[in-house]
Amino acid sequence: MTDIDNSNINITHLARLGRLAIAESNHANTTQELENIIAMIDAMQSVNTDGIEPLSHPLDSEQLLRADVVSESVSRETFQKDAPRTEDGYYLVPRVVD
């Protein structure tokens, strides 16, 4: 799905996507670690999987379904105790505008 290979790891971009603060001094280090992971994936890619259906889940089982009934009652107060800021029932975050 992704087409990253060892030659084009952009650590700044990846850190931003993952919302990770990676110190400049650690960039080389982290890049090396990622390269090692990709090398491992490359090794797996070399296994011949011709004629094998892709597996989307390791468990050989099927999705169970639930009936369409409202079964949860929500205690907003309890949930909002853990939130840094709330007001009038809303969770508040720093202003985000696209």
* Separation of alpha carbons 34 and 30, rounded Å: 6
> At which residue do the structure tokens 């505008």 appear?
97
Token pair in block for residue 58 = 């390791």
What DSSP string describes 2-24?
----GGG--HHHHHHHTT----G
Interface characters, 7-46, with other proteins (x: CB under 8 A): ------x--xx-x---------------------------
Stretch that binds other proteins, among 23-31, 40-48, 82-90 (CB under 8 A): 82-90
Residue from 8, 45, 76, 81 in contact with other proteins (CB under 8 A): 76
Nearer to other proteins, 26 or 79 (CB): 79
